[in-house]
């Protein structure tokens, strides 16, 4: 797969392990059992929200399980089940919370918006933080602490594990040349992005991944967002739509999660908690890297093929969507105290981080773009 390395390889993986060590030292790990002997075995099940063989992500989850088994010298074994193999993909949260047969899950927190509205901040926020800023908020700000507070009532313990990076804006069979073209636009788009589109006059529609291609091809929907070129082309979306829009305003990054049943977590020896935490962080770095490389290659192939029109959203369209996103977020905050609490932390951090980002990444990118021209 895209740039994957063995956990114990001596070359590219060294810095990943070092990063995992440093970040792991900042997390609240260490309340597990202290007297467990090495011959006490743990056989866990992990269910994911992803279809079997999903590029990068499915392989990353399986690599995580192998890493844990290797690092624990076989004391912990994790059997991985893709979406639909043991339980339906969108029942991961409930299965892990129940904890009777499943102890772990891998998914995206915005799938649980109906149960924990504020969890959407732990995945993707329209016009929000990118992958770099998201990691900074989670580990350097209050993000991870708030995330664990949100999930604690459900007997769940979340650990960040991967990020898709900035996504594309989606596939359209109708041009979006002005804000007026958003009116009545039937688009498959979930979460807060869907609420922002609705506030702008669009018609967000919820569809499972298996329904997207057919709905777009038959005209049931006018547009759909999915992920990025790597996964979009695998779904055949380039054959069902004329225009590929960017940037992904609805998901400037999509943080993924490893969720662990909290009761089962607290019954683990401390060293196994540390192994799981560090393996999740290392896997997350590899997953993000794999997504970036895979999307870059797929994007290059799409450009060379010439059968897809790459279109940048007009600035006035993005401006309207941005204002609509603020309205949608404000409405959600007014309805839910936890949402408001998380929102305040997120926005305060984003404002601080944006000032630093402006004189570093953004300044460099602006120079580079001018130099190319």
Q: Are strands 104-107 and 42-48 parallel, antiparallel or unpaired?
A: parallel
Residue 25 pLDDT > 60, yes or no? no
Q: Tell me if 333 is assigned to some domain.
A: yes
Whether 195 and 52 map to the same domain: the answer is no
Whether 260 and 246 map to the same domain: the answer is no
Whether 86 and 156 map to the same domain: the answer is yes
The average pLDDT across 292-312 equals 96
Tell me how far apart the alpha carbons of residues 210 and 98 are, in angstroms, rounded to a whole number: 27
Predicted confidence at residue 368, as pLDDT, reads 84
Q: Which helix (H) or strand (E) holds 343?
A: helix 337-358
Tokens of 124: 């993707």
Q: Tell me if 198 is assigned to some domain.
A: yes
Domain end residue (candidates: 294, 324, 345):
294
Tokens of 138: 């989670």
Whether 176 and 324 map to the same domain: the answer is yes
Domain end residue (candidates: 235, 265, 294):
294
**26-40, 62-76, 95-109: which has the minimum mean pLDDT?**
26-40
CA distances from 79 to 44, 61, 191, 285 (A): 6, 10, 30, 22
Give the bridge partners for 183, in sequence order.
none
Predicted confidence at residue 54, as pLDDT, reads 92
Range of the domain at 50: 13-32+39-163+254-294
Q: Tell me if 346 is assigned to some domain.
A: yes
Predicted confidence at residue 32, as pLDDT, reads 59
Q: Would you say 218 and 209 are in contact if contact means Cβ atoms under 8 Å apart?
A: no
Q: Tell me if 117 is assigned to some domain.
A: yes
Q: Would you say 86 and 102 are in contact if contact means Cβ atoms under 8 Å apart?
A: yes
Whether 232 and 332 map to the same domain: the answer is yes
Whether 149 and 222 map to the same domain: the answer is no
Express each pLDDT in 330-361 by its tens digit: 999 999 999 999 999 999 999 999 999 999 99
Residue 26 pLDDT > 60, yes or no? no
Express each pLDDT in 224-235 by its tens digit: 999 999 999 999
Tell me how far apart the alpha carbons of residues 186 and 14 are, in angstroms, rounded to a whole number: 47
Residue 29 pLDDT > 70, yes or no? no
Residue 21 pLDDT > 80, yes or no? no
Residue 8 pLDDT > 60, yes or no? no
Q: Tell me if 300 is assigned to some domain.
A: no
- The domain spanning residue 359 has which CATH number? 3.40.190.10
Q: Would you say 214 and 126 are in contact if contact means Cβ atoms under 8 Å apart?
A: no
CA distances from 191 to 168, 182, 207, 371 (A): 16, 17, 12, 38
Tell me how far apart the alpha carbons of residues 141 and 135 are, in angstroms, rounded to a whole number: 9
Whether 127 and 221 map to the same domain: the answer is no
Residue 3 pLDDT > 50, yes or no? no
Predicted confidence at residue 63, as pLDDT, reads 97
Residue 22 pLDDT > 80, yes or no? no
Burial of 341 (0-12, 13-18, 19+ CB in 10 A): middle
Q: Which residue has the higher pLDDT, 160 or 367?
A: 160
Q: Would you say 101 and 95 are in contact if contact means Cβ atoms under 8 Å apart?
A: yes
The average pLDDT across 147-157 equals 98
Average pLDDT, the chain: 90
Please tell me what DSSP assigns to residue 269.
B
Whether 158 and 264 map to the same domain: the answer is yes
Neighbours of 236 (CB within 10 A): 13
Q: Tell me if 234 is assigned to some domain.
A: yes
Predicted confidence at residue 265, as pLDDT, reads 98
Whether 285 and 338 map to the same domain: the answer is no
Tokens of 215: 């709905």
The model's pTM is 0.88
Tokens of 301: 């192939």
Whether 118 and 240 map to the same domain: the answer is no
Q: Would you say 124 and 192 are in contact if contact means Cβ atoms under 8 Å apart?
A: yes
Q: How many CA atoms lie within 13 A of 78 on its CB side?
A: 30
> Which residues, 6 or more positions from 42, have their beta carbon under 8 angstroms from its beta carbon?
75, 76, 77, 268, 272
Provide the domain count of the chain.
2
Q: Tell me if 184 is assigned to some domain.
A: yes
- Most confident residue range from 161-165, 206-210, 366-370: 161-165
SS3 247: coil
* Four-point Cα dihedral 91, 92, 95, 101, nearest 10: 130
Residue 203 pLDDT > 60, yes or no? yes
User: Cα Rg for the chain, rounded, in angstroms?
Assistant: 21
- The domain spanning residue 285 has which CATH number? 3.40.190.170
Residue 88 pLDDT > 50, yes or no? yes
Whether 343 and 282 map to the same domain: the answer is no
Whether 106 and 235 map to the same domain: the answer is no
Predicted confidence at residue 208, as pLDDT, reads 75
- Which band of pLDDT confidence, cut at 50, 70 and 90, is reported for residue 1? very low
Burial of 138 (0-12, 13-18, 19+ CB in 10 A): buried
Tokens of 103: 């102890």
Tokens of 73: 């010298």
Tell me how far apart the alpha carbons of residues 90 and 48 are, in angstroms, rounded to a whole number: 9
Tell me how far apart the alpha carbons of residues 291 and 284 are, in angstroms, rounded to a whole number: 11
Q: Tell me if 302 is assigned to some domain.
A: no
């Amino acid at each position: 797969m895209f740039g994957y390395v063995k956990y114990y390889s001596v070359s590219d993986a060294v810095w990943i392990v070092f990063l995992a060590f440093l970040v792991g030292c900042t997390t609240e790990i260490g309340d597990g059992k202290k007297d467990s002997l090495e011959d006490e075995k743990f056989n866990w099940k992990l269910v994911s929200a992803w279809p079997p063989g999903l590029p990068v992500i499915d392989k990353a989850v399986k690599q995580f399980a192998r890493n844990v088994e290797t690092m624990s010298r076989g004391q912990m074994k994790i059997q991985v089940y893709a979406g639909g193999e043991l339980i339906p993909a969108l029942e991961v949260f409930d299965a892990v919370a129940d904890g009777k047969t499943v102890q772990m899950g891998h998914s995206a927190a915005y799938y649980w918006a109906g149960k924990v509205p504020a969890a959407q901040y732990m995945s993707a926020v329209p016009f929000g933080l990118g992958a770099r800023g998201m990691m900074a908020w989670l580990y350097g700000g209050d993000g991870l602490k708030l995330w664990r507070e949100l999930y604690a009532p459900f007997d769940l313990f979340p650990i960040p594990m991967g990020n898709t990076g900035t996504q594309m804006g989606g596939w359209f069979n109708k041009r979006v040349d002005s804000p007026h073209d958003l009116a009545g636009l039937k688009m498959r788009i979930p979460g807060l992005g869907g609420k922002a589109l609705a506030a702008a006059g669009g018609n967000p529609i919820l569809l499972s991944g298996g329904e997207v291609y057919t709905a777009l091809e038959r005209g049931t929907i006018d547009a759909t967002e999915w992920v990025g070129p790597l996964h979009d082309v695998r779904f055949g979306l380039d054959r069902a739509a004329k225009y590929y829009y960017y940037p992904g305003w609805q998901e400037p990054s999509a943080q993924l999660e490893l969720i662990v049943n909290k009761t089962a977590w607290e019954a683990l020896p401390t060293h196994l908690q540390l192994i799981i935490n560090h393996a999740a962080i290392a896997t997350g770095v590899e997953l993000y890297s794999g997504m970036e490389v895979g999307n870059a290659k797929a994007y290059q192939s799409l450009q060379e093929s010439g059968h897809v029109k790459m279109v940048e959203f007009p600035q006035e369209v993005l401006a309207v969507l941005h204002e609509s996103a603020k309205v949608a977020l404000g409405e959600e905050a007014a309805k839910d105290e936890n949402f408001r609490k998380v929102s305040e932390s997120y926005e305060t951090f984003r404002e601080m981080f944006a000032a630093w980002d402006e004189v570093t990444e953004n300044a460099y990118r602006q120079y580079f773009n001018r130099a190319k021209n």
